Amino acid sequence: MSSIKQIPVVEAKRTNPLARVFDDLVRFCRSRSLFILHYCTGCGAIELPPAMTSRFDMERLGIQPMVSPRQADILLITGYVSIKTLKRVILTYEQMGSPKYVIGICSCTVNGGMYWQSYATAKKLDEYMPVDLYIAGCMPRPEAVIEGLQQLMDRIHAGEANSWEDYYRNYDYYLGNQQKLFGEDWQTPTDVISEAKHYDLLSNGTLGDHTRLLEQHQKPLEALEMRLGHEQKEPAK
Amino acid sequence: MMLTLLDELLLFSGATLLVALFIGRGLAAGWMVTILYGGQLLALLKMAVLGYGGGTIASSLSFEIMGQELSWRFDGLSWFFALITIGSALLSSWFSCGAWERSYIRQGGNIWLFHTAMALNVFTMLILLASGDLLSLFIGWELVSWAGFLLMVLAGGVATSAAMRYITYAMAGGMAIFGGLALIYTASGSLQLEAVTTAVEQMSGAKLWLLVILFGGGFGVKMGLMPFHLWQAPAYAETPGPGSAFLGAISSRMGLFAILLVLVKLFGIVNIESLKLPFTPIDARDLLAWIAVFTIILPTFTAMKQNDARHLLAWHGIGQGGYMLLGVVVADAMGGAGGLLHVFNHATYQAALFMAVTAVIYRTGTSDLNKLGGLVVRMPLSFVVLLIGIIGLAGLPPMNGFVSKWLVYRSLLNQGMPLLFLAAVIGTLGTILSVYKLIHNIFLGQLRVEHEHVSEAPWSMMIPMLILSAIIFVTGLLPGIPLEWVASALQTVGLPVPDHTLGGIESASGSLDMIWVIGVLFAGFGVGALVFYSAGRSKRVHQLDNYAGGHFLSADVRYQYSDNFYAGLMHLIGGWYRGSFLWLERSIRSLVEFLSLGMQGLYRRANAEFYLLTTALFVIAWVVI
Amino acid sequence: MSATELLIELTLMPLVAFVVGMMMVLMMRRIAAKLQRRVGPPFFQPLYDIVKLHSKRTQVSHGLIHDIGIVMAMGGYIAAETLLPVPGMNGIAEKGGIITLLYLMMIPSLGLALGVGQCANPNGSIGIARALTAMLAYDIPLVIVVFGVAYAAGTTNLIDIIATQQAGGFETWGVTQMPLLAIAGLIAMHASLGKQPFEIYIAPAEIATGPMVEMGGKYLGGLFVMQCFQLYTTAVLYVSLFLGGGTTWFDFLLKSFLVLAIPMSIAYLFPRYRTEDLLRLMWKWPVMLGLIGIAFVI
Amino acid sequence: MSKQITHWLDDLLAEIEGIVVRRKSSRRVRVDVPADALPALLELLQGRAGYIHLSAISCVDWIKEDEFELVYHVWSYESHSLVSAHIRIAREPGVYLSVYDLYQPAAFFERDIHEMYGIHFEGSPNMEKFILTEWDGPPPMRKEFDSEAYINEHLSWQEYNPEWLQELVAEGGGVIIPPEEQRFSQKKK
Amino acid sequence: MSTNLVLTIALPLLGAFLLPVLMRSSVAIALWSGPAILVYGCWTVAELWLSGFAQPLSIAIGGFAPPLGINLYVDSLALLFAFAVQLLGLVFWPFTLDQESARRQSLMLLLVAASTGLALSGDLFNLYVFYELAAVATFGLASASGSGAAYVATLRYLILSGIGSVLTLFGIALIYSQTGTLNLAHLAQLAPAQLNNSLGLTAFLAILIGIGVKAELFPVNTWVPEIYATASTRLSAFLAGLLSKLALLIILRLLLLIFHQPEAAQVILILGILGVISGELAAWRAKEMKRMLAFSSIGQLGMIFIAMALPDGKGMLAVLALALHHLIIKSGLFMLAEDWGGALERLRGSAKASPLGAVLFVLFSLSLVGMPPLPGFWAKFVLITELAAQVEPLYLLGLTVFLLATVVEASYLFRIAATLYSNPAPDTLSEEIPKSKGLSLATASLFGAGMIAVALLIAPVGDGLQAIAAQAQDVDLYITTVSPAVSGGSQ
């Protein structure tokens, strides 16, 4: 199953010039202003404060640390990802607003790193969510982190960094891996399928047998719509 | 005798009372009573000339007992108050007919007694408002307080004890007024208003002080002013739904009407101001102002601590009463107008809020703020009504509460009273805080599992609520209309009248034009919406799809933050006001208990003859010396 | 003042406010960076942030009231701008005085409170409870200051207040007439901005940025815009009350930026106050200073 | 002064028969005791020698002798010295009695060992999982558990050999041990 | 026509003694003879009143001229009280048919005769005789119920009224030694000369305390709660309603005609205030219906005393209004108390059992407290305006005590109303809840109707009372009617 290639899909350029200029501006702003949510799963997190503070100052690149996934664009996963933490990482990833990017710092996210032999850590992060960029190194130095971030900024500016669409397009593949790891009744409170419909990113890879499994035991997740139901019901005692 | 318009009105409300009394059994009784209230409103509007600076309409009903002659007549002030009374009665009884009535009967309530009590309340209030001289004022006053007692005692259980407490306070107030009445009668020989004004001129300082205290205290009890405010919150909260809406809206404003009539019109603010406390710079007017200001602050912050929606609103009723008195007591052009307009505004949004809370109780069965939450998705219209109500109660621009509070602030500013201004603002901020707690704990936050299938309140309850919120918004947008009536009321009481336009108040030192302010506000909202909705389409997510530090939220866990809502604030000021007045009331009660124990012991003495002999000896000795 | 001229003014004032507000946000972040010996963000960074936020594909909303909350937040300040006289443009300042302006400045925070309430997030509710308590804390000294100024100038109309201050040049500025009130006003203004020492309700470490916890995309963008307006309104209000408003655009902007620089530089040196300490501080010093100030004025 | 204490301690320990005392240094003593004598030893140490702090219980899996070795590290604050008591229990039933009544912290050490090695301690207050809550496999620390086989079956390896790595390997530089030999499990038995 | 007035006293006396004899011969006639006498009495008084009674008249009994013989002085006030006695006697007639009834009915007749005598007689000693007769009749009736507590209560009452009558006798002897005459009219002429000194005052105070026993004056009314609680409710209604008022009437006559010293008024005022305080507060604690009513009547009479204390007869109208109002209300409440006797807690939920009774109770307490349209309010209003006119601090104290008493009264009366209307305790069976029914409910509703009638036509009743008060006040009219000749001589 892991044969799906990560073909960098370049965003189609829109026809009329005004829209194109607007798209350029938007891509430029997206690249120049990134909010990162660094999820300190492991030892790599200690590299981030020096990157943000006076010596390597990320703010000059327009990168600010943010607390809640809703506000963040980049999910920085720093260090080994144990199975228990992976559940929370997936939940946080799904709660982020797209276009969202995942950067795996430290070699533990790349191929399990020092803990390659451990039964408890995930070896291949991009099985469970699309990862844009890996920054190898058993705790890469801040220069490496910033170098990686700049590479990501160029990609965004060029418009190639939309691996987040891949999560919706091949949701079944990702869900399968997740269910393989966490068991059949694995479910996050975010309704990814309806979100896929909302952004019309529905493709053949989205719905499959894994999603059917999800449907069976999923607790209802549609949003509470404002109802003006006036039917004369027995008022609650 | 020729039936004057006032007689028509009184006959009409008498008829409503009789209709409620005799044919109150059937379900249609509710609707019939509502239609009759509508008739009363029409009769009142026919007297509309009063509202626009007209003279007074005397009633043909007047008779003479034991040398006192009683007469009834209506003037601008009573017309203004009558309008509010009948308006809130009409909407409250409309709210009570239909669905609420059925549920009230199902819960064992006596709907016939409810309609009769409401009709009785309106009838007695009209008599009080129409009183021509002090004696008819006192008769009306007693009738109103007893009718209020009847309405409060309906719900039984806790309501009875609250009503009992009310009646002891009301009787004490009544007796104080009765004493004051007697003092005036001896001083001026007759109880007619004109005679009293002449008598007041040459009355000595001490006597006038006594009168001010007696009348101020007596009327203050009904208005729930500071030292006597303990009874009002539980009494109004425990009355059945629409009853509390009616009581909350108007019943404690009768005290203000009486204060206006007696202290302002008869005694006149000028000689009230001349009354100096012996060796302090404070005069009677300042004393009243400070009582009003304390009535604003303390109840508002007690309201913040309440965990029951109805109690919270009732405590606010007391707080807002303080504004009205403050406006009237400052007695310059804007202050008087602000105070009276606040009576009208408060009536509208207090009734709307009580009705919204009753609708919530009707649907969910409880008004405990810690057991509700997230109802906005299931009861959107009640949410809108409550929202408009709380914006009015907090006095924020789009709604009418803002205009009257603005007037009161401007009057304090013009008169240069910084401490009063500060206290009034503290009151407003306190209201904003506790009012947000109300709407947050009921309508916002996590929707509980058991409230998922709750539906909106039925239309018979919803229409009066929507009408009230429409009134709140319209009088907020065009404050000129109510200001017209307020101006005529001010003329009859003898306070200066501010020049008002349709949109607000024109004055040299800074004017207010609500049409422009609200226009700009909604333009701003329009621009904000434009910017907001130009970006991508927003996706609604489920209530549990929330950031909780990576924790998986589940429906059965109640994670709504509602109890001890302002923990930080309460840490600091929680200890400052732990019911010092409750302690005062309890000490008086235990004193009476102790005395009566002593007296009863007196009668158990066995050797009664011993008494006889001692008194005889004592008397003879006293006579001989 | 013909209708069309007024219309232009009503549209222009918020735009000016937004632009100047963005400059102020930039200045704030630059000061913070300089204090921490960092390079600091590029010139157009606030613009980039706002455009990026508005251009995000997912806009997560928890219901209609959540959206209306943000609209009220932005709309409230846009309306407040029109009441703030700016050199050359008076808007509708004479239709509503300072008290109306104070109330209009309260509407955005209450609209935001409603919006956050619907997100049903405990962090958000705690944040809002703290924000309203903070509002109670800093509004009292603010009101004392406003009372002092209005009473001294005898009117609540902002245009007249500015006129009286500009009449006699530097001596008749508010700051020289009522120095104590000016200081109290500064402290109150600093607290109302909700920056570092008084940011108990943003508190990223404890309650995950409090009210803004569920705000992503255009919602967060709306709040950034509101922040620009907030800085601009507070600064200009202080300038028009105490520093005699701006005769020309240049010295108006200079004064506003200077006034804002003071709290900003203080901000990034202090850790956060707890709610009770915030209340105690706000009710102790500025209130005392204000009352003494008023005693002189009356 | 510490000299007399060490001698005093050695005579004390001699009281238990079948005890082998090896003094590592003036402040560390290794004691080997038969399994059933351990509680008596610990009581002796705690009661008369002031060793009141049980810092850890560690377990070693001797798969060849088919035994588990449990080591109880006990410290004394007065003499600042450590006694580590080693006992051997049979691997098959893997059951031993708990010392929770002597040392309360033992509850967690025993719970951890139970989770990792599957040894059941009678009398321990709580034996549920608290680290590997989502783990349903065999106790992972036992020698017979092959972690790599588990990974091969549940997880997947990162096939990451970009062109620059292939060119490096082609030139013969870089990694000396070819990748397939790196993994122990693949080492030919 | 004036002679048969004497019959109203003579006939009941005759009946009282003949009844036991008649009882033996035929029970039917005996049962109906009592009420017949009373009806005749009412008719005569009413007929005299209706025949345009303008001038007061004095009837010399046995033709002897006043200074020597005894005369009955009949003015509108006396007539009013006489009529009230006959009517209430009829209403409270003990219709029980057991063998005890003969004794009870004869005692009742005796009581009625004595009361009418008290109302009408114009001679001091004659008053004393009727006072003693009434006291004896009350002892008999009070102990009629036969329970142990009743005997104890009557014994205490016996001792108290015994000492009281001794004191009254001492007072009368003093007056006789001073003036040599006991005829009220004659005394009125001599009073300014002889009785104005301290000796006269002691005489008055002795009589005041003596008769005060019956009029429930403060220190001497300790017997009241026991008697009312243990005696039959009809008797306590008669006692509380009427007999105490008659004793009051005597003191009033003395105060108006003979004693004008200010100290007398002050003593009455102080005792009145103390009576009000003790009565109301004790009632607040009372746990049992009849005891509560007893204390409340002490309080009310205290108020009437305060009214009497007003100088130069200004309080007359207030006294009359309060007395009549108290008469109607207290009798009505006692009638209700007949079925709702026991502890107040027992009454929970009895409003559902007997709605009419509960409504009546609320009506009576509203009037007692002074709810405007009801007569209670007008009585209080008159008293309040008179009291406020005085300037001495003591009267103002009286005013404040009076107002506070009303508040206390309202709270305990409505506490009972609240228990009436509260839903019964879960475990009580429906028939256990006391219901007021039958005869007592009928009489109570009779009083209720009377009260509402007075409330509706308040104006004419007010003016009538004013006329009676004016007539009772002018002393020389009294003297001229009693002895036209004597007044001419020694003016």
Asked if residue A229 has pLDDT above 70, the reply is: no
| Cα(B313)–Cα(B438) distance, integer angstroms | 9
pLDDT tens by residue, E456-483? 887 788 788 888 877 777 777 777 776 6
**Of A186, A171, A174, which is closest to residue A219 (Cα–Cα)?**
A186
| Cα(E321)–Cα(E469) distance, integer angstroms | 10
- Residue among C33, C64, C217 whose CB faces A226 most closely: C64
Residue of B nearest to A69 (CA): B547
Q: Where are the alpha helices (DSSP H) in B370-479?
A: 380-394, 400-415, 418-443, 459-477
CATH 3.40.50.12280 fits domain A17-161: yes
Asked if residue D58 has pLDDT above 60, the reply is: yes
The confidence score (pLDDT) of residue B579 equals: 67
Flag if B547 and C62 touch (Cβ within 8 Å): no
| Cα(C87)–Cα(C247) distance, integer angstroms | 6
Residues 6+ apart with CB under 8 A from E481: E55, E56, E57, E58, E73, E75, E185
Q: Which residues of A184-193 are buried (b: 16+ CB within 10 A; e: fewer)?
A: eebbbbbbbb
- Residue among A26, A62, A99 whose CB faces C41 most closely: A62
Q: Distance (Å) from the C-alpha of residue B582 to the closest C-alpha of chain C?
A: 27
CA B82 to chain centre: 14
Residue of B nearest to A186 (CA): B552
Determine which of E166, E205, E270, E314 to mutate to test the interface with B (most B C-beta atoms within 10 Å). Answer: E205
Q: What is the CA radius of gyration of chain A?
A: 20
Question: DSSP label at B446?
Answer: P
Minimum mean pLDDT range among B306-315, B431-440, E122-131? E122-131
Q: Using CB atoms and an 8 Å cut-off, which of residues 444-483 of chain B contact chain A?
A: 447, 450-451, 453-456, 458-459
Residue of B nearest to E279 (CA): B599
Chain C neighbours (≥3 Cβ pairs under 8 A) are: A, B
Can you tell me whether residue E68 is helix, strand or coil?
coil
Place of tokens 């004696």: B135
Question: DSSP label at B247?
Answer: I
Can you tell me whether residue D58 is helix, strand or coil?
strand
The confidence score (pLDDT) of residue E486 equals: 47
Q: Using CB atoms and an 8 Å cut-off, which of residues 160-179 of chain E contact chain B?
A: 160, 163-164, 167
A32 touches chain C (CB under 8 A): yes
Flag if C97 and B426 touch (Cβ within 8 Å): no
pLDDT tens by residue, E158-188? 888 888 888 888 888 888 887 777 777 777 7
Q: Walk along chain C (298 residues) and give the pLDDT tens digit of each residue.
A: 578 888 888 888 889 999 999 999 999 999 989 888 888 889 999 999 999 998 888 888 888 889 999 999 999 999 888 888 888 777 777 777 888 888 888 899 899 999 998 888 888 889 899 889 988 889 999 999 988 888 888 888 888 888 888 887 777 787 788 888 889 999 998 888 878 788 877 777 777 788 888 888 889 999 999 999 999 999 998 988 888 777 788 888 998 999 999 888 888 888 888 888 888 888 888 899 988 988 888 7
| Cα(A158)–Cα(A152) distance, integer angstroms | 10
Under the banding of pLDDT at 50, 70 and 90, the label for residue E92 is: confident
| Cα(C260)–Cα(A63) distance, integer angstroms | 24
Residues in chain A closer than 8 A to D140 (CB atoms)? 119-120
Q: How many other CB atoms are there within 10 angstroms of residue E298's CB atom?
A: 28
| Cα(D22)–Cα(B479) distance, integer angstroms | 97
pLDDT > 70 in chain B, percent: 94
Contact: chain B with chain A (3+ CB pairs below 8 Å): yes
pLDDT tens by residue, A59-79? 888 898 888 888 899 999 988
- Give the burial class of A208: count Cβ atoms within 10 A of its Cβ; 0-12 exposed, 13-18 middle, 19 or more buried: middle
Can you tell me whether residue A131 is helix, strand or coil?
coil
Residues 6+ apart with CB under 8 A from E401: E273, E276, E277, E306
Exposure of B208 in the CB half-sphere (CA atoms within 13 A): 27
Q: Using CB atoms and an 8 Å cut-off, which of residues 87-146 of chain E contact chain B?
A: none
pLDDT tens by residue, A151-197? 999 999 988 888 888 888 888 889 888 888 888 888 888 888 888 88
| Cα(A216)–Cα(A233) distance, integer angstroms | 31
| Cα(E376)–Cα(B51) distance, integer angstroms | 38
Residues in chain C closer than 8 A to A70 (CB atoms)? 60, 213-216, 220
Residue of B nearest to E380 (CA): B178
The confidence score (pLDDT) of residue B1 equals: 46
Flag if B364 and A236 touch (Cβ within 8 Å): yes
Flag if B445 and C78 touch (Cβ within 8 Å): no
Flag if C104 and B521 touch (Cβ within 8 Å): yes
B559 touches chain A (CB under 8 A): no
The confidence score (pLDDT) of residue B351 equals: 92
| Residue range E133-152: mean pLDDT, rounded | 81
Minimum mean pLDDT range among C141-150, D64-73, E124-133? E124-133
Residues 6+ apart with CB under 8 A from C207: C123, C126, C127, C130, C213
Asked if residue D179 has pLDDT above 70, the reply is: no
Question: DSSP label at A173?
Answer: H
Under the banding of pLDDT at 50, 70 and 90, the label for residue B51 is: low
Q: How many other CB atoms are there within 10 angstroms of residue A77's CB atom?
A: 30
| Residue range B7-33: mean pLDDT, rounded | 76
Pairing of strands D67-76, D81-90: antiparallel
Look over chain B and give the mean of its residue pLDDT values, rounded to a whole number.
83
Asked if residue D4 has pLDDT above 80, the reply is: no
Asked if residue A233 has pLDDT above 60, the reply is: no
pLDDT tens by residue, D10-40? 788 877 777 888 888 878 888 898 888 888 8
Where are chain A's structural domains?
Answer: 17-161, 170-219
**Phi, psi values for residue B61, rounded to 5°:** -85, 105
- Residue among B525, B562, B568 whose CB faces C71 most closely: B525
| Cα(B541)–Cα(B194) distance, integer angstroms | 70
Flag if A32 and C45 touch (Cβ within 8 Å): yes
Q: Where in chain D is the domain with CATH 3.30.460.80?
A: 2-132
pLDDT tens by residue, B489-522? 888 887 888 777 777 777 777 778 888 888 889 9
Residues in chain A closer than 8 A to C35 (CB atoms)? none
Asked if residue A2 has pLDDT above 50, the reply is: no
Flag if A60 and C63 touch (Cβ within 8 Å): no
Under the banding of pLDDT at 50, 70 and 90, the label for residue E491 is: very low
Look over chain D and give the mean of its residue pLDDT values, rounded to a whole number.
83
Asked if residue A8 has pLDDT above 70, the reply is: no
pLDDT tens by residue, B397-455? 888 889 889 889 988 888 888 888 999 999 999 999 999 999 999 999 888 888 888 88
Count of CB contacts below 8 A, A vs C? 93
For residue A193, the surrounding DSSP H or E stretch is helix A192-198
Q: Distance (Å) from the C-alpha of residue B261 to the closest C-alpha of chain E?
A: 20
Residues in chain A closer than 8 A to C213 (CB atoms)? 67-68, 70
Q: Is the dihedral of CA A110, A114, A118, A121 positive or negative?
A: negative
Can you tell me whether residue D1 is helix, strand or coil?
coil
Under the banding of pLDDT at 50, 70 and 90, the label for residue E388 is: confident
Contact: chain B with chain E (3+ CB pairs below 8 Å): yes
Residues 6+ apart with CB under 8 A from E365: E410, E413, E414, E416, E417
Under the banding of pLDDT at 50, 70 and 90, the label for residue A3 is: very low
Q: Is the dihedral of CA B236, B239, B240, B245 positive or negative?
A: negative
Q: Where are the alpha helices (DSSP H) in chain C?
A: 3-35, 45-54, 64-83, 98-118, 122-153, 158-167, 174-177, 179-193, 204-207, 217-242, 249-267, 275-297
The confidence score (pLDDT) of residue E434 equals: 66
Q: Are B237 and B112 in contact (CB under 8 A)?
A: no
Question: DSSP label at E222?
Answer: T
Strand partners, A39: A77
| Residue range B236-256: mean pLDDT, rounded | 86
| Residue range E302-316: mean pLDDT, rounded | 81
| Residue range E382-396: mean pLDDT, rounded | 81
pLDDT tens by residue, E413-438? 888 888 887 776 666 665 566 666 67
Residues in chain B closer than 8 A to E371 (CB atoms)? 142-143, 146
Under the banding of pLDDT at 50, 70 and 90, the label for residue E490 is: very low
Flag if E281 and B592 touch (Cβ within 8 Å): yes
- Residue among A223, A224, A237 whose CB faces B365 most closely: A237
Q: Which fold has domain D2-132?
A: Beta Polymerase; domain 2 (3.30.460)
CA distances to B10, B24, B92, B244 from B119, in Å:
12, 11, 11, 14
Paired tokens of C248: 């020309």
The confidence score (pLDDT) of residue B27 equals: 64
- Residue among B377, B451, B553 whose CB faces A227 most closely: B377
The confidence score (pLDDT) of residue E436 equals: 63
pLDDT > 90 in chain A, percent: 11
The confidence score (pLDDT) of residue A12 equals: 62
Asked if residue B370 has pLDDT above 70, the reply is: yes
| Cα(E112)–Cα(E243) distance, integer angstroms | 10
pLDDT tens by residue, B159-216? 888 888 888 888 888 888 888 888 888 877 777 777 777 777 777 777 788 888 888 8
The confidence score (pLDDT) of residue E227 equals: 83
DSSP letters spanning E265-315: HHHHHHHHHHHHHHHHHHHHH--BHHHHHHHHHHHHHHHHHHHHTSGGGTT
Place of tokens 């690149």: A61
| Residue range B473-484: mean pLDDT, rounded | 87
Asked if residue E487 has pLDDT above 50, the reply is: no
Asked if residue E316 has pLDDT above 50, the reply is: yes
Can you tell me whether residue D100 is helix, strand or coil?
coil
| Cα(D15)–Cα(D5) distance, integer angstroms | 16
Q: Using CB atoms and an 8 Å cut-off, which of residues 130-189 of chain A contact chain B?
A: 188-189
Residues 6+ apart with CB under 8 A from A116: A123
Asked if residue E70 has pLDDT above 50, the reply is: yes
- Residue among B596, B597, B605 whose CB faces E222 most closely: B605
Flag if B362 and A233 touch (Cβ within 8 Å): no
Residue of A nearest to D134 (CA): A84
Residues in chain B closer than 8 A to E388 (CB atoms)? 179, 182-183, 185-186
pLDDT tens by residue, E361-376? 888 888 888 887 788 8
- Residue among A68, A221, A231 whose CB faces B542 most closely: A221
Under the banding of pLDDT at 50, 70 and 90, the label for residue B393 is: very high
Contact: chain C with chain D (3+ CB pairs below 8 Å): no
Q: Distance (Å) from the C-alpha of residue A165 to the closest C-alpha of chain D?
A: 22
